[in-house]
């Protein structure tokens, strides 16, 4: 891959990748998978940690640093030939939880050290055993075959253009479909997709400085509420893409929900907001 003409939009991101390259300097320990001025940097770190019986477990951790990193959290995927799908999902979830606890700033090395020290404790967690499952690949470690549906409400958007662009990018990066819906002062985000991807979206939504406060200073989203979350049912129809739409009447908004097989969701959680 030719990378000489690429210019990082984040000096901290570039310095972190450089430092990691020096730390993980062995053969195939660190591989840069992609670099882009618009999408950030994605790289894989191959490392190992102690398993339940003291055995060495090989891990492949993939980190995606968006252009807004480290103001937002990195995306994380992982795979291992020595762990089951459930264990890989548990490790990924615990890494994301740990990332959320860390102060804003470069954190990849700290996350790698944390999982090296804590892997055996993480895979002992209930629900992570699944010993009869086959070893997980990167694809099936991150994909939930049963999609989820979540409905979010935002209180306001002061920097609307920037905010909308960021929501669209997160949905695209995480392969989520749905709608960002405006009707008067009501702002709703309906997401469909892998449950872990929706969790990652929520982390980004709450930790990124995506809006501005009354003094026009950048701020994080503090006034978001989850109206509804459930596993997709057979009557729920999947949106083919994520779109931004504005509605002038309650009927228009209701028809959008009904077209997706979400009539009860609208009646139970939205109708009271728009009346």
Structure confidence at residue 10 (pLDDT):
59
Element (H, E) at 209: strand 209-212
Q: Give average pLDDT by consecutive 10-residue segment, the chain, 275 residues.
A: 38 82 87 83 91 87 87 86 86 90 87 91 61 38 62 84 88 89 91 87 79 72 80 79 91 89 87 79
Phi and psi torsions of 35, nearest 5°: -145, 135
> From residue 58, how far is each of 104, 224, 258, 264 by CA, in Å?
28, 39, 47, 46
- pTM, two decimal places: 0.48
Structure confidence at residue 134 (pLDDT):
39
**How far is it, in rounded angstroms, from Cα 55 to Cα 76?**
24
**How far is it, in rounded angstroms, from Cα 178 to Cα 191?**
5
**How far is it, in rounded angstroms, from Cα 131 to Cα 104?**
36
Structure confidence at residue 261 (pLDDT):
86
Structure confidence at residue 68 (pLDDT):
81
Whether the Cβ atoms of residue 149 and residue 190 lie closer than 8 Å to each other: yes
Could you tell me which CATH number the domain at 148-274 has?
Answer: 3.30.70.100
Fold of 11-142: Ubiquitin Conjugating Enzyme (3.10.110)
User: DSSP for 58-99?
Assistant: EEEEEEEE-TTTTSSPPEEEEEEEEEEHHHHHHHHHHHHHHH
Tokens in use for 245? Answer: 């739409």
Structure confidence at residue 142 (pLDDT):
38
| Domain residue spans of the chain | 11-142, 148-274
Whether the Cβ atoms of residue 204 and residue 73 lie closer than 8 Å to each other: yes
| Domains 11-142 and 148-274 agree in fold | no
């Amino acid at each position: 891959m030719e990378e000489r003409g690429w210019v990082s939009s984040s000096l901290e991101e570039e310095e972190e990748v450089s430092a990691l390259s020096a730390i993980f300097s062995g053969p195939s320990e660190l591989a840069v998978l992609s670099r882009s001025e618009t999408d950030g940097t994605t790289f894989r770190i191959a490392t190992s940690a102690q398993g339940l019986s003291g055995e060495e477990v090989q891990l492949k951790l993939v980190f995606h640093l968006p252009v807004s990193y480290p103001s937002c959290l990195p995306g994380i995927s992982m795979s291992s030939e020595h762990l089951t799908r459930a264990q890989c999902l548990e490790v990924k979830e615990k890494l994301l939880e740990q990332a959320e606890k860390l102060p804003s700033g470069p954190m990849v090395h700290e996350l790698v050290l944390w999982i090296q020290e804590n892997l055996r404790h993480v895979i002992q967690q209930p629900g992570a055993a699944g010993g009869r499952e086959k070893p997980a690949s990167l694809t099936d470690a991150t994909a939930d075959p049963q999609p989820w549906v979540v409905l979010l409400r935002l209180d306001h958007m002061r920097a609307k253009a920037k905010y909308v662009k960021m929501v669209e990018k997160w949905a695209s990066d995480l392969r989520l479909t749905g709608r960002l819906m405006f009707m008067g002062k009501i702002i709703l985000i309906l997401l469909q997709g892998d449950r872990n991807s929706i969790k990652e979206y929520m982390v980004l939504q709450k930790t990124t400085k995506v809006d501005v406060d009354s003094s026009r200073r950048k701020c994080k989203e503090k006034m978001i509420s989850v109206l509804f979350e459930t596993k997709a049912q057979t009557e729920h129809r999947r949106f083919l893409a994520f779109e931004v739409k504005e509605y002038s009447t309650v009927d228009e908004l209701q028809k959008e929900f009904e077209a997706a097989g979400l009539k009860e969701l609208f009646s139970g959680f939205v109708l009271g907001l728009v009346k």
